[in-house]
Amino acid sequence: MSSILSLVTGWPGPSGFGSASSAEQVTEGIDASHLTAIITGGASGIGLETARVLALRKARVIIGARNMEAANEAKKIILEEVEDGRVDVLKLDLASIKSVREFARNFIALNLPLNILINNAGIMFCPYQLSEDGIEMQFATNHIGHFLLTNLLLDKMKETAKTTGVEGRIVNLSSIAHIHTYEDGIQFDDINNPTSYSDKRAYGQSKLANILHANELTRCFQEEGVNITANAVHPGLIMTNLMKHSAILMRILKFFSFLLWKNVPQGAATTCYVALHPNLKGVSGKYFVDCNEIKPSTFARDELLARKLWDFSNKLINSSSKSY
């Protein structure tokens, strides 16, 4: 009840920030000039706002986006405000294993460090369809693409953290919708089953996977003694292009729950807080809502489920990969 009250009122939580805080407010005074960040889906919505605020705080920002025209327009918008900003764009289609591999190769070829990886892009409530690799589209885009991308960039992140002594941070954008998933959490045996497909539960499943991914990364990092953290965030309810497959439903919902909805600067706040704020140094394997840590679902705290998902994801990628 208190979390609903703080959401409606915008009252800050223990972090000093709350649902009414904006991305600029939660990063005020932070100098990120020594940091390089990748953000997927940074061409629109909260991804664009996240990229803008990171650039405003002097970070070097690489936007990964499927639509290069939109990505270049986003870069232009950011540089009009942040004249000395450092923003690059690279093509990335998270629903394509080939594209993810090409993005990783292209980024590594730039010979830049990598301090922050923000796995932001996603799709929501889309009708049943398979990716070009034969994987259910929401699971492919929201989880598998980011899982592979993270794995391909981990060596670069580890190298950067080791040579600079600066903590690396991975931020997975999840959702409160992770609680509305299939009966077993993740449908390992029926991931591509069209008869059991539910657009809402498939979305919830992919968002659960985002949290489990961050948790298993944390376990691996702590086991290896790597100076990188991984956390998951729920950005809040924001009307963006993500809602395009359920626009009418969302408008009706927004009408009856308008107090619970955020604007885009507020929606990007938790991502920016977890990516940049010094108070989160060493904090890993946590789930944040409104810039404050909360406890996710039972499934999201299941260590065995997280390890099973990790192995399943690797096998799915290996079996789906063509000879690129």
CB 96 within 8 A of CB 132: yes
The model's pLDDT over 206-222, given as tens digits with 9 standing for 90+, comes to 999 999 999 999 999 99
Classified as helix, coil or strand, 29 is coil
Phi, psi of 198 (to 5 degrees): -130, 125
CA distance 291 to 12: 9
Output Rg (C-alpha) for the chain, integer angstroms: 18
Q: What is the reported pLDDT for 261?
A: 58
Confidence class of residue 38 from pLDDT cuts 50, 70 and 90? very high
Q: What is the reported pLDDT for 1?
A: 39
Q: What is the reported pLDDT for 155?
A: 98
The model's pLDDT over 124-178, given as tens digits with 9 standing for 90+, comes to 999 999 999 999 999 999 999 999 999 999 999 999 999 999 999 999 999 999 9
Q: What is the reported pLDDT for 8?
A: 46
> Is the whole model's pTM more than 0.85, yes or no?
yes
Higher pLDDT, 1 or 322: 322
CATH architecture entry for 2-321: 3-Layer(aba) Sandwich (3.40)
Q: What is the reported pLDDT for 322?
A: 56
Q: What is the reported pLDDT for 6?
A: 52
- Report whether pLDDT(47) > 90: yes
Q: CB atoms < 10 A from the CB of 170, how many? A: 27
User: Residue 155: CB partners within 8 Å, gap ≥ 6?
Assistant: none
The model's pLDDT over 289-323, given as tens digits with 9 standing for 90+, comes to 999 999 999 999 999 999 999 999 999 999 987 54
CA distance 265 to 51: 11
Name the DSSP class of 167: P
CA distance 270 to 274: 6
CA distance 317 to 313: 6
**Catalytic residue positions, numbered:** 197
Confidence class of residue 238 from pLDDT cuts 50, 70 and 90? low
Q: What is the reported pLDDT for 236?
A: 85
The angle subtended at Cα 67 by Cα 115 and Cα 80, nearest 5°, is 65
User: Residue 35: CB partners within 8 Å, gap ≥ 6?
Assistant: 59, 60, 115, 116, 166, 276
User: Residue 189: CB partners within 8 Å, gap ≥ 6?
Assistant: none
DSSP alpha helices (H): ranges in the chain? 2-9, 23-26, 45-56, 68-81, 97-109, 137-139, 145-164, 199-224, 247-256, 264-267, 269-276, 303-320
Q: What is the reported pLDDT for 257?
A: 40
Q: What is the reported pLDDT for 321?
A: 74
DSSP alpha helices (H): ranges in 111-194? 137-139, 145-164
CA distance 12 to 28: 16
Mean residue pLDDT of the chain comes to 91
CB 197 within 8 A of CB 317: no
- Report whether pLDDT(31) > 60: yes
The angle subtended at Cα 165 by Cα 162 and Cα 168, nearest 5°, is 75
Average pLDDT of the residues in 103-131:
97
Q: What is the reported pLDDT for 245?
A: 44
- Report whether pLDDT(112) > 50: yes
Confidence class of residue 251 from pLDDT cuts 50, 70 and 90? low
Q: What is the reported pLDDT for 315?
A: 97
